[in-house]
């Protein structure tokens, strides 16, 4: 991506995030309250993720799961007993992603890009793969859309964590590298539209 392309992408992110927060702040507050009651804890889920240039930041989402001592993995699959019924609805409708508008506004994230990884994944990137760390991670993107049924795919595997590490994650890296190399503003608009409409 050129410096001009990066500027266009950032201006778009700031403007859309600002408008989005103005329009959905009441919805974020309502869903936060519901998530708080549902999980009996703070309705916001925060976690350290790896961002641009490998810098750690705190991602903010709605909490959709209750803690479980029996499940320590960060890999989530359909039928995961940690996901609450309301949390399942939030995930299906993408309402759990709304607080990330704040992450976009302050510059931690973009609307479109590779999903931000927890430490332990981005650290493995080598050579040209580290190109993924030259842009802000996104709320959605081509890899996210390609694996929109990721939880169901993982649930069908005998070893979900291994399948994620050996099959899904490398393919996401491939898809995201192609996105960066061939970035076009209109493609970002298409990815956002498909995310919102579920196409």
Q: What is the pLDDT of residues 130-162, one digit of tens each?
A: 999 999 999 999 999 999 888 889 888 899 889
pTM listed for this prediction = 0.87
**13: nearest Cα among 112, 140, 115, 144:** 112
Q: What is the domain count for the chain? A: 1
The whole-number pLDDT of residue 123 equals 77
- Of 21 and 198, the structure prediction assigns the larger pLDDT to 21
Name the nearest CA neighbour of 113 among 47, 193, 179, 34: 179
The share of the chain scoring above pLDDT 70, in percent, equals 94
The rounded distance, in Å, linking the Cα atoms of 39 and 3 is 43
Q: d(Cα 190, Cα 140) in Å, to the nearest integer? A: 11
Which of 137 and 120 is assigned the larger pLDDT? 137
CA dist 139 and 46 (Å) reads 15
Q: Is the pLDDT of residue 34 over 80?
A: yes
pLDDT band at 73 (very low <50, low <70, confident <90, very high): low
Query: Which has the minimum average pLDDT: 61-65, 119-123, 143-147, 175-179?
Result: 119-123
- pLDDT level of residue 77 (50, 70, 90 thresholds): low
Flag whether pLDDT at 126 surpasses 90: no
Which residue range forms the structural domain that includes residue 49?
A: 3-197
> Where does the pLDDT of residue 116 fall: very low under 50, low under 70, confident under 90, or very high at 90 and above?
very high
Q: What does the pLDDT read at residue 76? A: 64
In sequence order, the 6+-apart residues with CB closer than 8 A to the CB of 193 are 199
């Amino acid at each position: 991506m050129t410096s001009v392309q990066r500027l266009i992408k950032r201006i778009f992110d700031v403007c859309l995030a600002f408008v989005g927060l103005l329009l959905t702040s009441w919805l974020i507050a309502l869903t936060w309250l519901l998530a708080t009651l549902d999980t009996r804890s703070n309705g916001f889920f925060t976690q350290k993720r790896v961002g641009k240039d490998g810098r750690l930041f705190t991602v903010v989402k709605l909490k959709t799961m209750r803690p479980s001592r029996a499940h320590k993995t960060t890999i989530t699959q359909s039928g995961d007993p940690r996901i609450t019924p309301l949390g399942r609805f939030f995930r299906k409708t993408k309402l759990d992603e709304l607080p990330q508008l704040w992450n976009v506004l302050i510059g931690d994230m973009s609307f479109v890009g590779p999903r931000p990884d927890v430490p332990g994944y981005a650290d493995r990137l080598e050579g040209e793969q580290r190109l993924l760390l030259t842009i802000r991670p996104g709320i959605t993107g081509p890899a996210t859309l390609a694996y929109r049924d990721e939880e169901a795919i993982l649930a069908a595997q005998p070893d979900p964590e291994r399948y994620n590490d050996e099959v899904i994650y490398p393919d996401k890296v491939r898809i995201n590298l192609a996105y960066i190399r061939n970035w076009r503003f209109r493609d970002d608009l298409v990815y956002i539209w498909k995310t919102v409409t579920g196409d």
